[in-house]
Amino acid sequence: MHPALSVIVFTVFSGAGFGMLFMLGYGAATRLLPPDRLFGFGAFGLALALATVGLLSSTLHLGHPERAWRAMSQWRSSWLSREGLAAMFTYLPTAPFAVAWALFGANAGFFAFCGAIAGLLALATVVCTAKIYASLKPIRQWHNNWVTPTYLVIALMTGALWINALLQLRGLSRPTVAIIACVAALAGMALKIGYWRFVDNAAARSTPGTATGLGALGRVRLLDAPHSQDNYLLREMGYRIARKHAWRLRRISLSFGFFVPFVLAGLTAAVTGKLAAGVAVAAAVSAMLGVLIERWLFFAEARHTVTLYYGAERA
């Protein structure tokens, strides 16, 4: 599949933003995060900016972005519609939660309850985002049980890393947040390795024989291309990346997206002051860069079954 920048930004940025909202809700409900006004202002500002920019960027991939609001009406059958509605509902309890924390330094009682609801809705939004792709049966690399937990863990990891960075910048170290980020980074690395092993080794669900129904007669191969020149289907669903480049990008993604953040986030629990703040910010930035590469690969390595009609041997 063509790795469109707008969709990559959508999944990475919105995941980090909603991951931060979950951490804020969880942190308020468990009294883990302090009711510091400047921290609250920065945390909610960054979380809402990431989530909103991500959601808005997704409309750029549409042929008519001005009609994006119409997708909301298809919630009975469309995960894209459910994702949009879940995101909108997340903003409702987030509003009083954010105002109370950022302006009045209050994150307990009723406001903690609002935060808990916002956190659960944020997780539901990430699940809906993952289901947009996991529900597409014609794409084997997406329609599997690895996609949804990977999206959730990466959202939690990036959210926890940014919360940890903002805490360190305010001199409000919370080792538990760093530990959550470290655990999420390890889990994310394990999930991505498992996902790549699955897509590399699982038997192809579709071949030219199964696609045409002629497999029983022998090996089916393309005799003549259906088009004499490039077309929309080939551009969007027939994107190809060389195996050696994919392996290199996978290693870079694992390193910058998971291993480096794990080490740096763990280091913030051992150092203090400006050094801890710098290390925490570096961990969050490294994770975002690594996840951007991971998400690019997620789209670039996917193969739609329609490519079987253009000469592909398996999908």
Domains contained in the chain, CATH given:
5-215+229-310 (1.20.1630.10)
Write the DSSP string, 120-164: HHHHHHHHHHHHHHHT-TT-TTTSSTTHHHHHHHHHHHHHHHHHH
Query: What are the tens digits of pLDDT across the range 20-46?
Result: 999 999 999 999 999 999 999 999 999
Could you tell me if 160 and 23 are in contact, meaning their C-beta atoms sit under 8 angstroms apart? yes
Say if residue 54's pLDDT is above 90: yes
Could you tell me what percent of the chain has a pLDDT over 90? Answer: 66
13 phi and psi angles, rounded to 5 deg = -70, -45
Which pair of structure tokens corresponds to residue 29? 């409900």
pLDDT in tens, 156-197: 999 999 999 999 999 998 999 999 999 999 999 999 999 999
More confident residue, 178 or 69: 178
Among positive and negative, which fits the CA dihedral 58, 59, 60, 63?
positive
Task: Check residue 225 and give its pLDDT.
Answer: 67
Joined tokens for residue 78: 């469309």
Section 138-147 average pLDDT: 93
Distance CA 50, CA 158 (A): 11
The rounded percent of the chain whose pLDDT value lies above 70 is: 88
Q: Residue 2 — very low, low, confident or very high, per pLDDT cuts 50/70/90?
A: confident
| Mean pLDDT for all residues in the chain | 89
pLDDT at residue 85 is higher than 90 = yes
More confident residue, 8 or 215: 8
User: Identity (one letter) of the amino acid at 281?
Assistant: V
Name the residue with higher pLDDT: 27 or 224: 27
Give the closest residue to 54 by CA, choosing from 5, 21, 4, 12: 12
- The per-residue b/e assignment along 128-149, b for 16 or more CB within 10 angstroms, e otherwise, is bbbbbbbebebbbbbeeebbbb
Q: How many CA atoms lie within 13 A of 39 on its CB side?
A: 24
- How far apart (Å, rounded) are the C-alpha atoms in residues 314 and 304? 10
